[in-house]
Structure 1
Amino acid sequence: MNIAAIQTFLAVVRCRNLNRAAEQLNVTQSAVTARLDTLEQALGAQLLVRSRKGATLTKAGFAFLEQAEVIARTWENARARANLPRGVTRLFSFVCDPGLWPELGQRWIDEIRAAHPETAIEIWSGLLRDAETWLQSGMSDAALLSEPVIGAGLEHREFASDRLILVTSSPDLMWQKQYIYVDYGPLFRAQHAEAWPTDETAALAFSNPDWALDHMRRDGGAAYLPVRIVQGDMDRGCLHPVPGALSFDRRIVLSWRKASAESFSFLAPSDPAVPAGR
């Protein structure tokens, strides 16, 4: 089994077509077919049902898919670590919930880069399931999420508290009629239901606060959003807090591999060069 065969398998899964996968990989279709045949022979199972209409995963293919992604990502990670720029001695692989990147994740990474110029950094967008796979496999060193990643060889600490406030695009807006629900996970859902017990549901919902904010800037509305991303809009008078509305504090958690802490002291809150988070 070789990495080219696994990368080819993943390309076919993405494209759902051998011809398009061949174009993406810049190889012939016969090369794609040969690589898939080699991979299936090595595994002793059919991974794809191939036809003129395309390619679909078999049950064995679904079972192998996650492992194939881990292997391919581990290979890319190893290549990156083996080809660090001059003056850089190590690579820090960081997973961040996309909704936590503005201000929180980005600011922390900027502080690390300033305090540790010998460290190269790669940043991946991911949620809990991604982070679990990447941390436990060793592909990534740490993850910033709204909940901890639990497992053998992993540690976590509270990184920051994210305050969510109800803001509206206009102080005169009947915000209940244009309420946008932003889903921050199970704990927020329970708190929100307790605070606003009603049969009415929002006509529009987002899983990412940045998308909700972009929609409000364009079309108006009201939503619970983190202070860190709306403060500038409030200062400019583009958004307004809803008087008397409850706010929620969401815990932000940094999880990391214990083995990585030996190389990256900033993962533990004792490194004076890098704040522990705000």
Structure 2
Amino acid sequence: MDIELVRTFLAIVAAGSFVRAADRLNVSQTAVSARIRTLEAQLRRRLFIRNKGGASLTSAGEQFLRHAPSLVQLWERARQEVAVPESRRAVLSVGAEHSLWDPLLLRWLLWLRRHQPDVALRAHVFLSERVLDQVADGIIDIGIVYAARHRPGLRVELLMEERLVLVRGTAAGIGRDDYVQVDRGDELLSGNAPGQQEPSLVVDLGPLGLGYILEAGGTGYFRLSSVKPHLRSGRLELVPNAPDFLYPAYAVFNEASSDPSLVASALDGLRKIAREEASPVRARRGGRP
């Protein structure tokens, strides 16, 4: 069986329609329909009922859904184990959403290289939902995300409770009066921040907004761990009396891991680094550290 047929089946179930599944898979709706026809021909059963609202599973589709995730996970585990370099005993695949690669994912990779030198590493950076999909499919062994929705077969562990803090650039620049809003894809700070004017700039990537403030000036809410170095150097300062917001990060991993001891060891390192990242910053509000 072509594993892409199974992936397409799961994409339709998750999206609720052939059209949205095609968008997620970045293929045409015709290709999605053709894959499902092939899968239905192989199983000799109809899997979906299509209607104006999207697509719903038949009884045969419900039965196949019980096995489809395991098929994808088994394939991915087999593919990764076969691809282990001869000089390494195993492959560990990790991933994080964009806002978490620096510094958390970077520091974790360095820790893994020091403590697991005989393990080949693969690192991926995706949107949160894609990270969860990849963990569910067995492509990524451990993922780090902010918005972690529970799924069958996945373990979700609170990693750290980061804080979003309001900072401003200390250098005079063209954007010194700008309020920079980061669109984080959820309701948190989706409107104006307390005491702030309408945003002069909206970005959907935290590092881009932070880089703008460092160069041009302005204010914005960012993760405390990402602004620590700039608070210490004096390039940023905390805005006095501005409220902070909790922004928890989670580790997500598959209960059916092919190498539980390796995953457990990697998680121990991740927890240690997360504790270090979550330690309070030594800075005075409104001034240099």
**Which bracket does the TM-score occupy, shorter chain normalised?**
0.5 to 0.7
Supply the AA of the counterpart residue of 1:158: L
Indicate whether 1:167 and 2:164 are aligned: no
- 1:89 maps to 89
Return 163-172 or 129-138, whichever deviates more: 163-172
What is the match of residue 221 of structure 1?
218
Q: How many residues matched?
A: 241
Trace 1:96-115 onto structure 2 (pairs within 5 A).
96-115=96-115
Structure 2 residue runs without a partner (length 5+): 7-21, 29-33, 42-54, 56-70, 276-289
**Counterpart mapping for 1:1-278 below 5 A:** 42=38, 78-170=78-170, 177-186=177-186, 188-189=188-189, 196=194, 200-260=197-257, 262-263=260-261, 264-266=263-265, 268-269=267-268, 275=272, 277-278=274-275
* 1:189 match: secondary structure: coil
Instruction: For 1:14 and 1:135, locate their aligned partners in 2 and report how far apart those are by CA, in whole Å.
Output: 20
| Deviations 1:195-233, CA, capped at 9 Å, x for gaps | 6277x5313112221010122233222111122222222
How far, CA to CA, are the matches of 2:244 and 2:175 in structure 1? 16
Maintained 8 Å contact 1:158/1:254:
yes
Query: With structure 2 as the length reference, what TM-score do the two structures score?
Result: 0.63
Mapped to 2, the partners of 1:275 and 1:185 lie a distance apart of 28
Q: What amino acid does structure 2 have at the position aligned with 1:128? A: S
Q: Which residue identity lines up with residue 133 of structure 1 in the other structure? A: D
Matched to 1:247, the amino acid is: D
CA drift of 1:145 comes to 0.6
Cα RMSD (Å) of the superposition? 4.6
Distance across 2 between alignment mates of 1:174 and 1:109: 37
Q: How far off is 1:102 after superposition?
A: 0.6
In the TM superposition, what whole-angstrom CA distance separates every residue of 1:170-211 from its partner, at most 9, and x where no partner exists? 388999941011133435237x76x6277x531311222101
The separation in 1 between residues aligned to 2:160 and 2:182, in whole angstroms, is 20
In structure 1, what is the Cα distance between the partners aligned to 2:148 and 2:36? Answer: 37
Check 1:218–1:162 CA distance in 2 against 1; reply closer, same or farther (3 A cut): same
**1:100 shift after superposition:** 0.7
**Structure 1 length as normaliser, TM-score?**
0.65
Distance in 2 between residues matched to 1:258 and 1:174, nearest whole Å = 51
Give percent identity, aligned residues only.
22
| CA apart distance, 1:155 | 0.8
SS of the residue corresponding to residue 254 of structure 1 reads: strand
The SS at the match of 2:272 is coil
1:136-160 deviation digits (Å, cap 9, x = unpaired): 2222212101122411111111112
Residues 1:14 and 1:153: Cα distance change in structure 2 (over 3 Å): closer
How far is 1:127 from its partner? 2.3
CA contact (8 A) 2:158 2:249 kept: yes
| Structure 1 portions without partners, runs of 5+ | 17-37, 46-62, 64-70
Distance 1:143-1:103 versus aligned 2 partners, 3 A rule? same
User: Do the aligned residues in 1 keep the contact of 2:89 with 2:119 (CA within 8 Å)?
Assistant: yes
1:140–1:4 Cα change, 3 Å: closer
